[in-house]
Amino acid sequence: MISHIFPFYYQVEGVILMGNKYKDYAQDILIAVGGVENIVDVTYDTKCITIHMQHTIPSTANEVKQIVDVTSVAENDAQLVIKLKGNVDEVYQKLQRLIKNANVEEGANTDNINSQDTSYTPQVKVTTPILVKAPIAGRRILLKEVRDSIFREKMVGEGLAIKAHEESKVIAPFNGLVSMIVPTKHAVGIQSEDGVDIVIHIGVNTVDLEGKGFECFVKQNDRVEAGQTLLQFDQQYIQQQGYNADVIVVISNSADLGKVELTMNEIITTEDVIFKIFKN
């Protein structure tokens, strides 16, 4: 009888220990960012947890880097992106539970101290973002560095550009509908099932090439799947004609969607998420 119980015991004990490990990670992260009161919101994907803070703390990144299973930490103003090699979902869930418990406890203490007190503990907004992957691999370029003022000033929408490696195929970043193809084949629009409109534009002033150096594999109103080839361009030919061949990727309806987080990766693959969109 005991021989049947022991394997079950060890299995359960292992689950408990793993759970405690993730809770410890979450607790360490919470302390490093300055506690619940300094958190605006927390989001995650399969590789990382992103925390928006009320204000930055100089030591935060270094403290988080010391946590086991944390592979890298990136800071951008009050945004902290924590990459983990372990179970990101488990750490995120433990972090949310700690935040919730802290809010409940603080609320109870406030009620006990002074029922007339109107102060409150900020509630952390839990939002699942829409993820958009890169349509081509290469080096990230910020829009402010793009030579075309229309894109640089974000008149078309929020986004970034990618200086492509040798690969010249542009693929669909998600399942969706081809909403636009320009006659000169240097730009294509695609709308996701979530209502995100992406414009992929090859180069600057490449409309002047009148379609030379470009090949399109889809038609307007085609249904496409993530990873499907949309168009191809001859980067060498375009550059020989004196034109820039950077791939500009923008969310044309970003103003209507809400907050957009851009990737902080300098080098991008087609498996990387370049946009996290938090719809209003």
Radius of gyration of the chain (CA): 23
CA distance 143 to 199: 14
Is 55 an annotated catalytic residue? no
Task: Write down the catalytic residue from 4, 52, 186, 201.
Answer: 201
69, two tokens: 């299973």
- In this structure, is the dihedral angle defined by the CA atoms of residues 98, 101, 107 and 109, taken in order, positive or negative? negative
- Contact between residue 97 and residue 12 where contact means Cβ atoms under 8 Å apart: no
CA distance 187 to 276: 22
- Contact between residue 181 and residue 216 where contact means Cβ atoms under 8 Å apart: yes
Helix (H) or strand (E) holding 250: strand 247-251
Could you give the residue numbers annotated as active site?
201
